């Protein structure tokens, strides 16, 4: 049983604050993804959990045990590093066996575990090789096998796929998901890639500026972003925003159309995802002038001008459109979201 609790963890490097009092609970066997742009504090948080960094304030609990004062080796964790950190002076076998040997495990058990993990990661035929003879993808597999061999309660991964090329990344992603689901360990995974986050996570914690902005399951994060930052960060292309002018109780004027919205006195923005727009009869939706057309195969991305603001829509690739065309874009009413202009938080 390894539930992880982060209680008020903060970290500063000199004058720079990397983390502002973060609280988070990750339940046993959960796959948690920490998502954010570089410098948001996600890697710092992961390294604090691993014991590679000491928090300035706060507590870390793993499996009911307070661990923030313990060295990494006493925390029951294993870690996969961004550059794999496969030891160049050891064979693949010895790399996977490294942690087991540190525990002075009997040779037979070492053999058994190394072979089982190598099999799991499909690298049995590489056991005698050195890191220099491996491709990036193979090194990645060794790094994961080495972590799994420890049979840890928690497995920590720091951008493990970011150094692979696109195709390999796709392959490793689904493989990782399967292997980790089977191993029944709690996993924390750091990435800046939202697609990776969406596809792997049981729960995503979106981080920005040393804060956790939203922590929820992938669909929730996508559909109901808790803040404008999340709405802009998740989804490709990101959500569109338009200024809304209050014209009555719960009534707003957006780009020349009248829209129903939340009844609030704060100033708010209107937001809609590009794929939640449909082509409508003239006068039925938002009036848009196309500036750029990007056919993407399955659909076409158009960048338009709506009421002087840049605005994107994903439309069917059969609708032939050209720059300069005028469109009418109708938003799906239940997909419209509102965000506070000042705080950036979602308003309902």
The count of other CB atoms within 10 Å of the CB of residue 262 is 13
The count of other CB atoms within 10 Å of the CB of residue 169 is 18
Strands 77-80 and 65-66: unpaired
The count of other CB atoms within 10 Å of the CB of residue 283 is 8
Interface pick for other proteins out of 8, 23, 25, 54 (rule CB under 8 A): 54
Interface pick for other proteins out of 34, 50, 114, 271 (rule CB under 8 A): 50
- Cβ-based nearer residue to other proteins, 89 or 320: 89
Distance CA 10, CA 284 (A): 50
Distance CA 289, CA 320 (A): 14
Stretch that binds other proteins, among 48-56, 226-234, 261-269, 293-301 (CB under 8 A): 48-56
Interface pick for other proteins out of 1, 15, 64, 89 (rule CB under 8 A): 89
| Binding flag, residue 107, other proteins (CB under 8 A) | no
Distance CA 46, CA 261 (A): 39
Q: Which of residues 144-163 bind other proteins (CB under 8 A)?
A: 146, 150, 156
Interface pick for other proteins out of 1, 38, 64, 71 (rule CB under 8 A): 71
| Binding flag, residue 81, other proteins (CB under 8 A) | yes
SS3 sequence of 264-296:
CCCCEEEEECHHHEEECCCCCCEEEEEEEEEEC
Q: How far apart are the first and last CA of the chain?
A: 38
Binding-site size for other proteins (CB under 8 A) equals 24
Q: In what order do the strands lie in the sheet with 326-331?
A: 277-279, 326-331, 286-295, 299-306, 309-316
Q: Which of residues 282-341 bind other proteins (CB under 8 A)?
A: none
Shortest distance, CB of residue 237 to other proteins, whole angstroms? 33
SS3 sequence of 134-157:
CCHHHHHHHHHHHHHHCCCCEEEE
| Binding flag, residue 5, other proteins (CB under 8 A) | no
Contact map string, positions 199 to 238, toward other proteins, x by CB under 8 A: ----------------------------------------
- Cβ-based nearer residue to other proteins, 2 or 287: 2
Stretch that binds other proteins, among 87-95, 120-128, 193-201, 206-214 (CB under 8 A): 87-95
| Binding flag, residue 55, other proteins (CB under 8 A) | no
Tokens of 108: 């037979």
Stretch that binds other proteins, among 65-73, 109-117, 233-241, 250-258 (CB under 8 A): 65-73
| Binding flag, residue 85, other proteins (CB under 8 A) | yes
Q: Are 33 and 189 in contact (CB under 8 A)?
A: yes
Shortest distance, CB of residue 221 to other proteins, whole angstroms? 29
Distance CA 214, CA 220 (A): 10
Q: Interface residues with other proteins (CB under 8 A)?
A: 50-52, 54, 71-73, 77-79, 81-83, 85, 87-89, 98-99, 102-103, 146, 150, 156
């Amino acid at each position: 049983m390894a539930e992880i609790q982060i209680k008020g963890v903060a970290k500063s490097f000199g004058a720079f604050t990397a983390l502002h009092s973060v609280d988070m609970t990750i339940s046993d066997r959960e796959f948690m993804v920490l998502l954010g742009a570089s410098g948001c504090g996600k890697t710092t948080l992961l390294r604090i959990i691993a014991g590679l960094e000491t928090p300035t304030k706060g507590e870390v609990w793993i499996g009911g045990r307070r661990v923030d004062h313990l060295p990494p080796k006493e925390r029951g964790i294993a870690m996969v590093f961004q550059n794999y950190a496969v030891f160049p002076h050891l064979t693949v076998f010895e790399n996977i066996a490294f942690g087991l040997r540190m525990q002075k495990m009997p040779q037979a058990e070492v053999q058994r575990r190394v072979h089982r993990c190598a099999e799991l990661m499909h690298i049995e035929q590489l056991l005698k090789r050195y890191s220099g003879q491996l491709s990036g993808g193979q090194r990645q597999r060794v790094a994961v096998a080495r972590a799994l061999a420890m049979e840890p309660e928690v497995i920590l991964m720091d951008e493990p796929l970011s150094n692979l090329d696109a195709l390999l990344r796709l392959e490793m992603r689904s493989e990782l998901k399967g292997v980790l689901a089977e191993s029944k360990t709690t996993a924390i995974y750091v990435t800046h890639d939202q697609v990776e986050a969406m596809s792997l996570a049981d729960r995503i914690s979106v981080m920005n500026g040393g804060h956790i902005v939203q922590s929820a399951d992938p669909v929730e994060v996508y559909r109901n972003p808790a803040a404008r930052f999340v709405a802009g960060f998740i989804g490709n292309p990101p959500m569109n925003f338009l200024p809304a002018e209050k014209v009555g109780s719960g009534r707003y004027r957006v780009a020349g159309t009248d829209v129903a919205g939340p009844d609030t006195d704060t100033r708010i923005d209107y937001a809609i995802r590009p794929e939640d727009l449909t082509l409508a009869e003239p006068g039925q939706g938002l009036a848009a002038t196309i500036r750029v057309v990007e056919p993407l195969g399955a659909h076409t991305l158009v960048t338009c001008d709506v009421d002087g603001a840049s605005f994107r829509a994903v439309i069917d690739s059969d609708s032939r459109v050209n720059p300069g065309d005028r469109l009418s874009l109708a938003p799906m009413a239940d997909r419209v979201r509102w965000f506070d202009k000042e705080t950036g938080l979602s308003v309902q």
